[in-house]
């Protein structure tokens, strides 16, 4: 079997500005990688490592790696210079159990949902095909009538497959359920669930998931150039649910959507640091949910909650991870999330590069391909969409001018912010809370043209029940409590959102943290010389169900 460590050829297929130099063997104590800047020789600062937790010590984890034996090529791991790396391994499908789904109206009560895929003993390591043509994913509200008919036919044929066929619509929907609701345990760590949300696995898992879903659809209609559409919710013209998904007679329709909602206000944020964008590191043996990136915890979750039907027991379909894949709109939503990853690297100012950490690149997942073969795909396989044979249609980015660093306009200095109301932690968010947060000398290093970093506010030790539906907004230096602050206002810096999701091994309590970039707000409100800022937390859902252990300011950089 092939080693789980990413191959040299895969590593060095990265763009030249994002490659790293081979170093001495990694250990669990010190993870080292090189800056995104070409030939700088400057190493990345891993700002997330101190917050991650492991169930075993470093030597124990090494023993587990060796103990995996021939299943994952432990001999190769020992000989490889990255022998002590700990990527998340693809799960053992034969050990899949029922997913754990919290009941929304009965806190503390979970139901078991069977999400396990068919088991195959023949696993093929994924090798991207050689594509002669790049498929173009287009905005769903702009696709042609001919495209709509082909798309409808593809979904119709997928839904007509036997449910035991791993390519069927039901089985494809179950992929998300299993990976997101604790149907799998981490390989070698049966006391740790496997979770692809709230960490650096979020973007690559969903990219690969959609890739195989798209390829199956193309195969079913005999069109190798078929590409999924994306829900262009970052553009005013595409913000509503696209018309192709609202015809009750269409296979693209899903009845379990909120019929009352109007389009939410969308805020797309950029960030210069890799961890703020992708999320916190998540290695073999780590506890789940170390912390989501700004896109995952922002617009991603907001639209899941916005579309889900509140009249359903578990807010199905899009409103719950276990059922989200049953709504065809899910795949358009995540296609645009995937597009955000592309835009972050190619359109936003300053060079943005993905992690070069081999634990990220070597983490792997299992999917069934268009030929019903079970395939092991790694994060390193999906860094570039063109390697997977697709790209996105260029459309106007009206939000880019307002959200990207040096182009953000200064609106004037914020005067007389409302004073803090509480400074004793932990803070229970049963009502609006304002907290005075010192701006340390280190965190006053405001982002400049030569400083590829971010001013951040960090909410630590966020605790809530995993089955709680919670949302609160985070603002800074609000001057009027009567003013509604939201996306588009300079004081608004982001939100924390939790969609109920069950876990088998971690009890009912979720403990995580939230890091939000406030560089643009600092510039827009002219706070560079302030000794403190007032952070306001505004409960939007689940008042009194979440607490925050500490709030601090920092300046981080890759």
Q: Would you name the residues annotated as active-site residues?
A: 176, 197, 206, 300, 304, 321, 334
DSSP string covering 100-111: EEE-TTSTT-EE
Say if CB 68 and CB 10 are below 8 A apart. Answer: no
Say if CB 434 and CB 481 are below 8 A apart. Answer: no
- 428 backbone dihedrals φ, ψ, rounded to 5°: -90, 120
E strand or H helix that includes residue 551: strand 546-557
- Relative to beta strand 453-465, strand 546-557 is antiparallel
Say if CB 89 and CB 364 are below 8 A apart. Answer: yes
Say if CB 485 and CB 520 are below 8 A apart. Answer: no
Say if CB 313 and CB 105 are below 8 A apart. Answer: yes
- Relative to beta strand 374-378, strand 123-125 is parallel
CA dist., res. 20 & res. 11, Å (int): 8
Q: Which residues pair with 261 in a beta bridge?
A: none
Our measurement of the distance from residue 391's CA atom to the centroid of its chain's CA atoms, rounded to an integer in Å, reads 19
> Cα torsion at 360, 363, 369, 372 (round to 10°)?
-170
- CB neighbour list of residue 450: distance below 8 Å, 6 or more residues apart: none
CA dist., res. 44 & res. 58, Å (int): 21
């Amino acid at each position: 079997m092939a080693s789980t460590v990413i191959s040299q050829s895969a590593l060095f297929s990265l763009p030249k500005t994002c490659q790293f130099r081979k170093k001495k063997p990694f250990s669990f104590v010190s993870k080292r990688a090189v800056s995104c800047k070409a030939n700088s020789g400057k190493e990345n600062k891993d700002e997330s490592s101190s917050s991650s937790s492991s169930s075993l010590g470093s030597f124990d984890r090494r023993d587990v790696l060796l103990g995996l034996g021939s299943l994952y090529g432990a001999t190769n791991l020992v000989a490889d210079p990255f022998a002590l790396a700990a990527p998340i391994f693809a799960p053992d499908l034969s050990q899949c159990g029922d997913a754990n789904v919290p009941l929304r109206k009965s806190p503390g009560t979970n139901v078991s949902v069977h999400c396990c895929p068919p088991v195959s003993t023949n696993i093929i390591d994924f090798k991207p095909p050689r594509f002669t043509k790049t498929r173009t994913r287009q905005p769903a509200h702009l696709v042609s009538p001919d495209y709509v008919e082909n798309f409808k036919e593809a979904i119709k044929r997928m839904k007509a497959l036997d449910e035991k066929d791993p390519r069927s619509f039901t089985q494809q929907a179950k992929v998300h359920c299993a990976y997101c609701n604790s149907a799998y345990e981490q390989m070698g760590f049966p006391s740790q669930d496997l979770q692809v949300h709230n960490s650096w696995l979020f973007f690559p898992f969903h990219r690969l998931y959609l890739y195989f879903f798209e390829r199956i659809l193309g195969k079913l209609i005999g069109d190798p150039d078929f590409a999924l559409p994306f829900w262009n919710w970052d553009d005013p013209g595409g913000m509503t649910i696209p018309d192709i998904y609202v015809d009750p007679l269409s296979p693209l329709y899903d009845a379990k959507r909120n019929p009352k909602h109007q389009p939410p206000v969308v805020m797309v944020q950029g960030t210069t640091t890799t961890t703020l964008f992708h999320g916190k590191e998540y290695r073999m043996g780590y506890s789940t949910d170390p912390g989501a990136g700004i896109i995952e915890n922002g617009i991603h979750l907001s639209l899941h909650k916005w579309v889900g039907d509140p009249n359903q027991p578990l807010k199905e379909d899009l409103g719950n991870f276990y059922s989200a894949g049953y709504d065809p709109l899910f795949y358009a939503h995540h296609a645009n999330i995937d597009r955000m990853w592309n835009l972050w690297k190619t359109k936003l100012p300053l060079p943005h590069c993905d992690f070069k950490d081999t634990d990220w690149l070597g983490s792997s997942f299992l999917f069934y391909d268009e030929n019903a073969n079970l395939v092991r795909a790694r994060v390193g396989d999906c860094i570039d969409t063109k390697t997977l044979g697709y790209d996105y249609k260029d459309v106007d980015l009206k939000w880019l001018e307002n959200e990207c660093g040096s182009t953000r306009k200064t609106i004037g200095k914020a005067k007389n912010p409302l004073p803090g109301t509480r400074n004793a932690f932990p803070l229970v968010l049963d009502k609006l809370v304002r907290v005075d947060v010192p701006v340390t000398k280190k965190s006053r290093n405001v982002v400049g043209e030569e400083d590829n970093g971010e001013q951040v506010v960090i909410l630590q030790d966020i605790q809530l029940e995993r089955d709680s539906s919670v949302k609160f907004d985070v603002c800074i230096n609000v001057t009027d409590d009567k003013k509604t602050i939201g996306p588009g206002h300079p004081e608004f810096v982001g939100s924390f959102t939790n969609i109920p999701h069950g876990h088998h091994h971690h009890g009912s309590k979720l403990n995580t943290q939230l890091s939000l970039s406030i560089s643009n707000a600092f510039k827009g409100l002219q706070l560079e010389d302030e000794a403190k800022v007032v952070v306001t937390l505004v409960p939007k859902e689940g008042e009194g169900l979440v607490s925050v252990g500490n709030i601090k300011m920092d300046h981080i950089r890759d």
